[in-house]
Amino acid sequence: MQKQAIISIATVVGALLLIVAVALAVVRPWERAEPAGDAANVPLVDESTHILDDAGEGAPVLVEFFDYECPSCGQFHPVVEDLRERYAGEVTFAVRYFPLAMHPDAVPAALAAEAAAQQDAFEAMHVLLLERQQQWSGSDDAAAAFRGYAEELGLDLAAYDAAIVDPATLERVQLDADAAAALGASSTPTFFVDGEMLELQRYEDVEAALRAALEG
């Protein structure tokens, strides 16, 4: 029994060390991505994009490129949640990863969200990561906190650990980051409404763009 416990602990520790190694291996997305010759050829939403709310064909589409460790993204989170509630059925809301190099735990957080997505729990993990941002950001072991969230959500931890260290999970995160860079995004959060990048001056600008799209 004791031997099994030691093996289990060693497995978890090994997985967490690999998380760190994978995170350090990721390149700066805006330096890796090739500039798009025609940004119109870069899809804002593709088959892998996480759709939070689907209002159907013809509805305005809001896409947010975000960084889980970005303070502004954390501040915008309740704003977006409020908009989702008030424009349910009218607007499609989608989110895509754009971890910035200045935030060391942004990539591990995105990997945690994507690992949860493989168990149909993306939105639940997404909300936890943003709502608890101040708890894990800058901590000594954010990856352990993320694994704790996975356990809290009732995920299969063996599958979660495997997904975290799977190169395909990092590639999925990088896919979004490359798209963001190719579309001209350089900071987070960056919002697009019906293909147009928003120039934000205040929180209300996002809703103003949605209302204009609905009325147009």
Domain containing 27 — which CATH number? 3.40.30.10
Lowest mean pLDDT among 41-45, 145-149, 166-170: 41-45
What tokens were used for 58?
């013809």
Question: Domain total for the chain?
Answer: 1
Give the pLDDT confidence score for residue 172 in this predicted structure. 98
Give the pLDDT confidence score for residue 14 in this predicted structure. 45
Give the pLDDT confidence score for residue 40 in this predicted structure. 56
- Between CA 87 and CA 81 the distance in angstroms is 10
Residue 21 has pLDDT above 80, yes or no: no
What HEC string does the chain produce?
CHHHHHHHHHHHHHHHHHHHHHHHHCCCHHHHCCCCCCHHHCCCCCCCCEEEECCCCCCCEEEEEECCCCHHHHHHHHHHHHHHHHCCCCCEEEEEECCCCCCCCHHHHHHHHHHHHCCCCHHHHHHHHHHCHHHHCCCCCHHHHHHHHHHHCCCCHHHHHHHHHCHHHHHHHHHHHHHHHHCCCCCCCEEEECCEECCCCCCHHHHHHHHHHHHC
- Between CA 98 and CA 4 the distance in angstroms is 39
Give the pLDDT confidence score for residue 216 in this predicted structure. 82
- Between CA 6 and CA 111 the distance in angstroms is 26
Q: Give the pLDDT mean for 45-55.
A: 97
pLDDT category of residue 196 using cuts at 50, 70 and 90: very high
pLDDT digit string, tens, across residues 86-132: 999 999 999 999 999 999 999 999 999 999 999 999 999 999 999 99
Residue 210 has pLDDT above 50, yes or no: yes
Q: Give the pLDDT mean for 38-43.
A: 71
- Between CA 90 and CA 193 the distance in angstroms is 13
Lowest mean pLDDT among 20-34, 48-62, 65-79, 177-191: 20-34
The domain in which residue 46 lies consists of: 2-215
